[in-house]
Amino acid sequence: MAETTTAVPGVEAKAKAKAKSRVEERLSKLVPDKVHTWPYLVRLEMLVGTILMALITVWSIVVDAPLEEPANPTKTPNPSKAPWYFLGLQEVLVYFDPWFAGVVLPSLIIVGLMVIPYIDVNPKGNGYYCFRDRKFAISVYLFGFLVMWVALIIIGTFIRGPGWYLFLPGQYWDVHKTVAITNVNLADKFGIHDAPWSTLFGAACLVVWLGVIPMAFWKARIKKSETLQKLGMVRYQITAQLFMIMLGTCVKVFLRLGFNVKYVMEWKGMINV
Amino acid sequence: MAEAKKGWFDIVKSSYVWKSIFRHEYQDTYRNRVLQVSSNVFLHLHPTKIRRHALRLRFTWCMGGITFLLFLIETVTGVILMFYYRPTGEYAYHDMKYLQFDVPFGMIMRNMHRWGAHAMVIAVWLHMFRVFMTGSYKPPREFNWVIGVNLLVMTLMLSFTGYLLPWDQLSIWAVTVGTNMGRATPLLGHEGPFADFLGVNARYDARALLTAGRLVGAATLLRFYVLHCIFIPIIAAVLMIVHFWRVRKDGGISGPL
């Protein structure tokens, strides 16, 4: 069997490949944890791919994709739900106006995800699972993904019924269900009802949340915290703003559910938060 | 007599045509293992050698690869569906019924396309989750994470545009709910903050750009069809090329140093 292929073109390429393989042989002695892609990785990929194909084929034979009545623009179903992966955002729509829940928040999620590598200056935890080395980063990510995304999707998918009211699974969907809306603005809770002052009160709350608290934390910790020093003001502010907006979204939900707060700030019925 | 020892397969393998196709032997040697990967256009996406932990499913979850395979499944089943589906208000729903009841294996193709799409969304999330948990976005892989986030957005957009195409009550109202958000875009939506500033109205604003009109209608169907079958897949494919290429250029998949 040996040397059956010497006569074909590409000899030079093979000599190069041979030299390369010699180099790699030497490399492999230096880096002993390397293995050949063929067969070790390729066979694993083949195996996973085959299992996945089998699963999806069986699934598709057993379960049919839904197809409802023909599209009818004059007949609005109740509830009308977005595709399931957007139901977390639709759920946030209960607590916020559409410009925030439907446009600004998703944009911030995308931008926030993209800047993660540039605001996380912690060199530890690169290439292995470890909570201890990155407590803050992992906690925030888990909170954002599991609570603010997955949990809200589950709520929106399974326990939201007609009128977007909460119905337990299996509970009768009463399309005539109404719940009296008794929500008032945060300013009203403090006895401030008139237009310019109530707006200023709300704006002050936002300034405290997004401006004063992050700055106070910075002032209090900058001397001692090496992380903050390494982070610098610009990266700290980006991190803090994104973090406070995510947390603030959650706080607003809490204020609504616990204290019937409609808006923290209302400005001309245009920018309501 | 030496000739007699050669089996038919040896004769084939020593032929000029065979040798023009396969540049090396299949025997399990160190050199062939390398060539098997490096001389194959599909496999040479991989390096010839990888670090041992890259084989551990507990580390990788194989979610990136599964996402890519699901994208390929979507492409194949999607092309098959395109043979039977016309993106117009008159025909779209009828073609769905046609696929369901008349086209051989039509229903299975549609099922695979839909469940595969759902699986792909979940696989992308899990892939991102794994990459975050292993800190793989850290230097030198920062920018590949950014590309990955863009691919996540493309996946969601692919799924969302595809959601409209069955042209049933589920799709039209889900897309209505989704695109209604466009109305509230600051500056660019006619019901959003500062709508008067640029003078947008119901016919010309961010939502109308998506839906090709005031309502989700036949024009929207065509628009979403083109986005779904041509525009977004091409962008996603380009981003995927860069994503995979950079995995290698940034030193292979991450691992303990």
Q: Is the bond preceding residue B140 a cis peptide, omega within 30 degrees?
A: yes
Residues A235 and A202 in one domain: yes
Q: Is B46 within 8 Å of A97 when comparing Cβ atoms?
A: no
Beta pairing partners, A272: A266
Beta pairing partners, A160: A166
Question: Is A75 part of a structural domain of the chain?
Answer: no
Number of helices (H), then strands (E), belonging to chain B: the values are 14, 1
Question: Is A72 part of a structural domain of the chain?
Answer: no
Residues A139 and A250 in one domain: yes
Is the pLDDT score of B1 beyond 90?
A: no
CA distance A182 to A185: 10
Share of chain B above pLDDT 70, in %: 98
Is the pLDDT score of B84 beyond 60?
A: yes
Closest CB to B37 among A38, A81, A129: A38
Residues A92 and A57 in one domain: no
B23-53 tens-digit pLDDT: 898 889 999 999 999 999 999 999 999 988 8
Residues A37 and A94 in one domain: no
Chain B partners within 8 Å of A14 (Cβ): 23-24, 35
Question: Is A76 part of a structural domain of the chain?
Answer: no
Q: Is B178 within 8 Å of A82 when comparing Cβ atoms?
A: yes
CA distance A56 to B205: 40
Question: Of A65-69, A242-246, B8-12, B159-163, where does mean pLDDT reach its minimum?
Answer: B8-12
Question: Is A6 part of a structural domain of the chain?
Answer: no
A222-251 tens-digit pLDDT: 999 999 999 999 999 999 999 999 999 999
Give the gap in angstroms from C-alpha B167 to the nearest C-alpha of chain A.
Answer: 5
Q: Is B174 within 8 Å of A80 when comparing Cβ atoms?
A: yes
Query: How many of the other CB atoms lie within 10 Å of CB of A15?
Result: 10
B95-143 tens-digit pLDDT: 999 999 999 999 999 999 999 999 999 999 999 999 999 999 999 999 9
What are the tokens at A52? 């996945």
pLDDT band at B159 (very low <50, low <70, confident <90, very high): very high
- Of A152, A157, A149, A151, residue with least CA distance to A79: A157
B230-247 tens-digit pLDDT: 999 999 999 999 999 999
Residues A142 and A229 in one domain: yes
Question: Is A41 part of a structural domain of the chain?
Answer: yes
Identify the pLDDT of residue A26: 66
Question: Is A80 part of a structural domain of the chain?
Answer: no
B63 three-class SS: helix
Q: Is A114 within 8 Å of B146 when comparing Cβ atoms?
A: yes
| Residue A69 forms contact with B (CB below 8 Å) | yes
Residues A100 and A233 in one domain: yes
CA distance B95 to A263: 47
Beta pairing partners, A266: A272
pTM of the model as a whole: 0.90
Identify the pLDDT of residue A12: 73
Of B217 and B5, the one with more pLDDT: B217
Which residue type does A202 have? G
Question: Is A7 part of a structural domain of the chain?
Answer: no
Question: Residues 194..253 of A with a Cβ closer than 8 Å to B: which?
Answer: none
Predicted ipTM > 0.85: yes
Q: What integer is the mean pLDDT of B245-251? A: 93
Share of chain B above pLDDT 90, in %: 86
What residue numbers bound the domain in which A211 lies?
86-272
CATH entry 1.20.810.10 includes domain B59-249: yes
Give average pLDDT by consecutive 10-residue segment, chain A, 273 residues: 49 74 66 84 96 97 96 94 96 95 96 97 93 96 96 96 92 90 90 91 96 97 94 97 97 94 90 91
Closest CB to B145 among A1, A81, A117: A117
| Residue A123 forms contact with B (CB below 8 Å) | yes
- Give the sign of the dihedral formed by CA B227, CA B228, CA B229, CA B235: positive
A160 three-class SS: strand
Residues A40 and A123 in one domain: no
Question: Is A229 part of a structural domain of the chain?
Answer: yes
Report how many domains make up chain A.
2
Phi-psi map region of B46: left, alpha, beta (phi>0 left; psi -120 to 50 alpha): beta
Q: Is A123 within 8 Å of B185 when comparing Cβ atoms?
A: no
* C-alpha R_g of chain B: 24
Chain B partners within 8 Å of A39 (Cβ): 33
CA distance A144 to A138: 10
Which residues have C-beta within 8 Å of that of residue B82, sequence separation ≥ 6?
B229
Domain definitions of chain B by residue range: 59-249
Domain boundary residue among A61, A78, A111? Answer: A61
A171 three-class SS: coil
